[in-house]
Amino acid sequence: MFVGHYGVAFAVKTQRNKIPLWVLFVAVQLLDFLWAPFVLLGIEKVRFVPGITATNALDLYYMPYTHSLLGALFWSAVAFAIYKIGWRNIASNSAALLVGFAVFSHWLLDLIVHRPDLAIYDDTLKVGFGLWNYRGIEFVLEIGILLFGAVLYLKRNGAIARKIGIIIFVAALVLIQTSNTFVRRPPSSDRGFAITALIFYTVFAIIAFLLERRRPIPS
C-alpha cells in the first residue's frame, strides 16, 4: 500500500476537527517515516527478491519496531500524545484520537496487501493477506481508497481547500501509483529505497501543507 494511505488522511480531515492535512499526511505514513531511517541504521531489514509478489520485489523480513501490531499501537499512542500536547490550544481528545487512528490505519491497510511479514509482536506470528500477489485488484483498491478519501475531503473542506490544487495533486498520486505498480524496476539497494521513500513522504506532506495554507486577505 502506498498512495492508498493518503486516502485515509483526506477522509479524516474536516473543518470541525481542525487537524492540518499535512499532519494527517505524516500520520498515515508515520510507520514508514520511522521505517526508512531504521533501515538506514540497520535496525530493520529489507531485501529485494524478484517475483516474491506480483506487484513488487520487497521482502520486508525484519521490521518489528515499526510494522508489528504492537509497534503500530505504540506509535499511534505516541502520535496521540504529541498532537494533544503540541496542538493543546485547538486539539480536542477526539482530534488527537483521529491522529492516532490515522497512524494505526497504516498497519491495517498494510495487512491487506502485504505477504505475511507483519509481526504481531517482536518478529513472531507474522500476518498479511497478500493482495500484492494480485496486481490489478490491489491497484484498483489502492486508487479507490485514495479517490474516495479525496472526494470526502473536497466536500467537507470547501472553505479551505484549494480545489484545483488538490485535484492536480491527487491525479499526480494516481500517476505515481500507476508507475509504481506497472512500470517500476526493482530498487538497486535497501538504502536507496529507504532514502527515496523518505523523500517522497516528505515532499507529499509539504505539498499538503501548501495546499491548505491560507491566502493573505487583500488590504
Tell me how many helices (H) and strands (E) the chain has. 8, 2
DSSP strand E in the chain: where?
A: 45-48, 58-62
Long-range contacts of 77-81 (CB under 8 A, 24+ apart): 79/27, 79/30, 79/103
pLDDT at residue 206, as a whole number: 97
Q: How far is CA 145 from CA 65, 84, 149, 176, in A?
A: 26, 27, 6, 15
Burial of 82 (0-12, 13-18, 19+ CB in 10 A): middle
Q: Which residues pair with 62 in a beta bridge?
A: 45
Phi, psi of 127 (to 5 degrees): -130, 165
Residue 84: count of CB within 10 angstroms of its CB: 17
pTM (whole model) above 0.75: yes
Amino acid (one-letter) located at 14: T
Q: Which residues pair with 171 in a beta bridge?
A: none
Q: How far is CA 22 from CA 89, 127, 198, 202, in A?
A: 18, 30, 15, 10
DSSP state of 183: T
Query: pLDDT digit of tens for each residue in the chain (219 aa)?
Result: 899 999 999 999 998 888 999 999 999 999 999 999 999 999 999 999 988 999 999 999 999 999 999 999 999 999 999 999 887 766 688 999 999 999 999 999 999 999 999 999 999 999 999 999 999 999 999 999 999 999 999 998 866 657 889 999 999 999 999 998 988 676 778 899 999 999 999 999 999 999 987 654 333
CB-side neighbour CA atoms (13 Å) of 61: 9
pLDDT at residue 216, as a whole number: 44
